[in-house]
A = this chain, B = another copy of it.
């Protein structure tokens, strides 16, 4: 569809959500719910992008993470695969246990070749591991979830990881800390791009008490992370 209303001039129109097996549901759907609501006020398109067009499940791929053999998860339908995804203004990458799978090269390659034409990249939780392994965080300040910080540093040795942060912005890359931090980062992104009133309105509609300070991070303290930005 075309989006030519003056209201949208210069604003991002085409959003992409990247999903993969065993993604973390709320990493994706926190930001998505905010953007779903925003799309009532601005012309916006969403592509849900995966390696194939088969449904993608949040279920554990790795049986060692599913000791009680639960059959519990939700499956989301992609709209595009890595080969037919449209040009994007904004790409959102959730994290989840699936980020440690050893067959994600096509996904890293998609991020690597898509990033240069994006207006914004947003990662949530270990979604930053995907961005790091795609090489797009090298030399940049970024954050990730706080439960696996040692691994984060190993995954992205050339990234300037910030240990105490709800989210970090470096250039056009927004990286959020663990899971629900994605909602605060997305609302801050909305404030940056669409204005503070819009972000406030969305938070009120979601009945969400947002954190507006990117340095707020009691979880870094809970996990005893040293204050650092290497």
Contacts and interface: CB of A to CB of B under 8 A. Distances in A.
Contacts of A145: 207
Interface residues of A, number: 61
B205 A74 contact: no
A10 interface: no
Nearest to A219: B207
Given A25-B32, A204-B222, A208-B180, A68 B43 contact: yes
A15 interface: yes
Contact of A65 (B40, B68, B218): B40
Nearest to A218: B209
Interface in A34-70: 35-36, 39-46, 48, 55, 58, 60, 65-70
A5 interface: yes
A64 to B, nearest CB: 10
A6 B31 CA distance: 38
Given A25-B33, A26-B33, A68 B46 contact: no
Contacts of A222: 204
21 contacts: A3-B68, A7-B68, A26-B32, A29-B30, A36-B58, A36-B74, A40-B66, A42-B70, A43-B70, A45-B72, A46-B74, A48-B75, A55-B77, A74-B77, A177-B207, A178-B206, A179-B208, A180-B207, A204-B219, A204-B222, A209-B211
